Chain A
């Protein structure tokens, strides 16, 4: 047997180990030596399809189709772009203000996005499409999109590799454009896109670019809507906040397949759809700043968590802003939110406001409230008896025991 046949046979046996019980074994008698090499190949192909091209039901790209493939020049023309390097297409567009994206036009991108970034920042909205979602050194970003605001309008640049050999040129161009930005905005880019680009630079032996300020919208979206929405994917955010319903979208998870199809057979329809998908993602990012900024002001109006909004505000603007937000939504706060607000009031010495909150929660047996009341009566009011009443309701534990013992001692000392 040649190497090829030996491999096929061996892999099949390794794959059938361990055998699962209950599977019919009727067909396993055909010893795969001379006959049935084609069957073995089919089986391996089927397994590969399952791994790489999950659930698409499309026929696999075949080498035979290469003749009908379109060269990069032609693809560039179709996409309305230019060849930046032999294997890199650049699409560089300034988007018109009137361009509709969901329920908005792109003009909205000019609205303030505070507290996420100041109007004077040179913001870049970034998103990549990759050959795999698993991460690791074998994952390549074959498409990088970056939008900037130029003279008040959105300029979208997308760099598309048409072959692996183009990666160096692509990264060089991307890094040049990133230099124009001092604040990046992404969706899950902190964990995925930017580390991936850093890894790719290392693979291409390129220098790292300095880290810039970065807003990853995934985190505020989780704080605001994580409790209410089925998931926090960008698709969901767009639908609910921007009113965007993508027609004929190629899901990002199929981007690896589209790129592979282009490489193997030169068919470009799917790749063109990936470019459109990336465009939509980035335009959404540009509109999400103002949209999420509005949610932060009036979380309840958008069904967002007030406490979540306060957490985002606290991180971006500080505790005072968070407190003011909580104050303006007092009647909508969860017990945790009310405790938080009471904590803020106590910090400012506003016990007249904090105590009623604690008392209300204490009646429901909320431990933190009871403890706060015990402390308040012990240290502020020096009313040992009342303090002891609250301390007595605390769940037993070393801290509660110590407090109770101390209060008893104080009571006795006073009595004497």
Chain B
């Protein structure tokens, strides 16, 4: 997986000699050509100079057999961070190693683990977020093991491990490699079978720690609480070794996961070649609607240039479907001769493991020149070094962007990364504010392990694993109250000072660590009796896109949803020739229950508190293409979705509102547009996906809420969906709400409130810098009605709202 420091003759030469005039200069030449031909599309550039390696000696106390294994693989010295990790870990400190892709992180944990296994038969548990990574790890360990004849046994333990092999893993494995889900459901509830393993457990390794954030991370932090509780039962107190991509708060995240202070190592001693990064905005093709050329078309263009320049290239796309499309376009150009071996490959989830292994191998050995991948290749699967990395759209976070860009330039030669923006607001914001991306420290990864529902789930699981005793602690809430609640529910039985599990059930079975991310819907095309999956839709947008009767577009091809299997997460569709599209009517109303904090915001106020949300999707409209006339309605039979959560909201003082807007209609459009922009920049600020946050515009008393009508204009509706006229309302205090899209909240609202001024400021600059005339999907959301019909520009209305909420002192 990693490239351990190899002190080979040519690498000890000064860096300038590494790269001859021919070899390696290709990426630099490509940069020049792109800047020459497409100067207008480049909105930002960054050059990171080459960095020489910092070496340190192998530790004196390193087992000679392990040192021998390293030497056999060409490693005479360690990088400085590998040595620092060794010293810190051997000193018993929980450690998180935060260094770039391919800097030899693996060795940071493998060395102390192997040493301890040989010294005193200590055991280690490795946790990887995915199965593919686990298999890579075991292969890597085995190579080292064989090279030094170390006699250390590493096994994977996951859903694929056959029943008869499990006992051997439990009793004979020195290193057990698994994932958090398996630890949660398959190991901890059966810890008695793992007694020997836990008794000698000395190290817990958590790789790709930055992926454990949000709901998933909050669950995993609780799984770690349970793990440490079981370890204490067996008299073990393992040291945690973690690795993470670059995020702003690695120590905080790692400590939150482990529940104890963790020390970070952030200085990489690994060498890096010169790196170029270009930010590329596709040209505008329709200024009226603010439509730009697709990111896909731009990426394939750059990729063709790269391949013709004999530069190996990786292209990241945001969806599986997009991977297929780009692969097709690239193959049409480069793989059109069936007699030659193919040069272009796709890599994504959904492919069979064998197929993926083959592609990885072909990449390492240089038999493939171009790979098109989803985030499946973002995490540390070993694919060797590439010259060019192209990102089709902003991956959503800065950390993940750098992680992907790290795929190019693993060796000491120049490399190029190009981030090509899509027309999403997030992308447009990033691409027009290169300093945000280039200067900014990456995002904070946050978890909320004491989120009540998540905590309660894991208290149940923990009680099953070991009875709770009075005086024990588990998380930040009052444990005894939680136990009393479960006792009242009949789940636990209290006997003097101990709470015992008394349900005839296995609680871990019903708790999924990835409850939010897991519910993706698949769209199945049943045209002419076939059954083909053509798309995936995430849970939060399924209700408004996959209702029965909906027209679902794939690559502009219309399909009609015939049947929605909500529990099976499937939508069955058929091809159609409809000349209309459908638009769900979304009534989200929101009531403020309690406010925790308030603060003035310009001529208004921002606040954070608890809210109750009811979302109803009562029906949909059929809208004809081009004319946009409403040609019919359909009903949707989905139950209301209710949620208590936390939110941040902004309200403007009524006097300011009257002074700034000619009409309430105009103000309403302004609030809706501002909400759209704020929603997207807020997702950036709290390092979440846009769908982790919800947005709404309403009056905060749930008397009315605002929605965009079929004419593209804001409408006011009452609770039962009836339209009302804003001019007739006695009191008119619209508010923008951004809420945590998870029952009870997972801690997104607090950082959002802390960054309230930034959300307003960033939303303002997103809209102001947009090239469109009156608003577009890149800033305030799609608009239909033209400026003349309204008599005002919705884009300007949104700006007016944001200006009214802007705090000048703070910015």
Contact = CB atoms under 8 A, between A and B. Distances in A.
B189 A264 contact: no
11 contacts: A3-B481, A7-B452, A19-B638, A19-B639, A20-B566, A22-B637, A29-B614, A33-B593, A138-B189, A138-B463, A260-B504
Given A11-B456, A22-B637, A133-B504, A138 B464 contact: yes
Interface string A126-153: 0000011111111010000000000000
Q: Which 10 A-B pairs have the closest CB atoms?
A: A138-B464, A199-B192, A25-B639, A256-B504, A134-B506, A138-B501, A19-B639, A132-B504, A136-B189, A202-B192
Interface in B571-596: 591, 593
Contacts of B192: 137, 198-200, 202-203
A48 B489 contact: yes
Interface string A3-20: 110110111011011111
A164 interface: yes
Given A10-B743, A136-B464, 7 more contacts: A6-B452, A18-B567, A22-B637, A133-B504, A134-B505, A138-B503, A164-B498
Contact of B504 (A10, A52, A164, A165): A52
Interface size band for A:
35 or more
B640 A25 contact: yes
A118 B566 CA distance: 60
A17 B743 contact: yes
B193 interface: yes
Residue of B192, B564, B641, B643 most packed against chain A (CB within 10 A)? B192
B519 interface: yes
Nearest to B193: A199
A257 interface: yes
Interface string A36-67: 00000000110010011000000010000000
A164 B466 CA distance: 12
Contacts of A415: none
Contacts of A134: 504-506, 509
Contacts of B436: none
Given A23-B639, A131-B502, A134-B506, A9 B644 contact: yes
B453 A11 contact: yes
A7 B481 CA distance: 11
Contacts of B641: 16-17, 19
B495 interface: yes
B408 to A, nearest CB: 40
Contacts of A165: 495-496, 498
A250 interface: no
* Main DSSP-derived SS at the B contact region: mixed
B432 to A, nearest CB: 37
Contacts of B456: 7, 11
A259 B504 CA distance: 11
B149 interface: no
Contacts of A10: 452-453, 644, 743-744
Contacts of B501: 131, 138
Given A52-B490, A137-B466, A202-B192, A18 B498 contact: no
Contacts of B466: 137, 203
A137 B644 contact: no
Nearest to A205: B233
A214 B465 CA distance: 29
Nearest to B641: A19
A137 B190 contact: yes
Contacts of B507: 138
Contact of B489 (A20, A23, A44, A136): A44
A400 interface: no
Contact of B638 (A21, A48, A133, A263): A21
A413 B453 CA distance: 82
Nearest to A9: B644
B495 A21 contact: no
A135 B506 CA distance: 8
A52 B505 contact: yes
B639 A48 contact: no
Interface in B378-413: none
Contacts of A396: none
B485 A7 contact: yes
A8 B326 CA distance: 49
Nearest to B457: A14
A140 B501 CA distance: 9
A28 interface: yes
A16 B642 contact: yes
Interface of A is mostly: helix
Interface in B429-473: 452-453, 456, 463-467
A163 interface: yes
Interface of A: 3-4, 6-7, 9-11, 13-14, 16-25, 28-29, 31, 33, 44-45, 48, 51-52, 60, 131-138, 140, 163-165, 195, 198-200, 202-203, 256-257, 259-260, 263-264
A407 B477 CA distance: 81
B452 A260 contact: no
Nearest to A11: B453
A44 B467 CA distance: 23
Contacts of B505: 51-52, 132, 134
Contact of A51 (B503, B519, B744): B503
A21 B504 contact: no
A14 B464 contact: no
B491 A48 contact: yes
A138 B503 CA distance: 9
B747 to A, nearest CB: 14
A57 B465 CA distance: 29
A14 B465 CA distance: 24
B642 A137 contact: no
B195 interface: yes
A132 B189 contact: no
Given A20-B567, A164-B498, A28 B640 contact: yes
B276 interface: no
A260 B465 CA distance: 18
Contacts of A52: 490, 503-505
B502 A260 contact: yes
B191 A257 contact: no
Nearest to B593: A33
A387 to B, nearest CB: 40
B529 to A, nearest CB: 25
Contacts of A133: 504
Interface in B21-55: none
Given A28-B640, A138-B506, A260-B502, A48 B743 contact: no
B490 A60 contact: yes
A44 B489 CA distance: 8
Nearest to A28: B640
B477 A3 contact: yes
A277 to B, nearest CB: 16
A138 B466 CA distance: 7
Nearest to A136: B189
B164 interface: no
B228 to A, nearest CB: 16
A52 B643 CA distance: 27
Contacts of B506: 132, 134-136, 138
A33 B493 contact: no
B222 to A, nearest CB: 15
A223 to B, nearest CB: 20
A202 B195 contact: yes
A18 B643 CA distance: 12
A264 B504 contact: no
B189 A257 contact: no
Nearest to B461: A138
Contacts of B498: 164-165
A3 B567 contact: no
Contacts of B642: 13, 16, 28, 31
A21 B644 CA distance: 21
A263 B493 contact: yes
A18 B503 contact: no
Contacts of A135: 190, 506
B566 A18 contact: yes
B334 interface: no
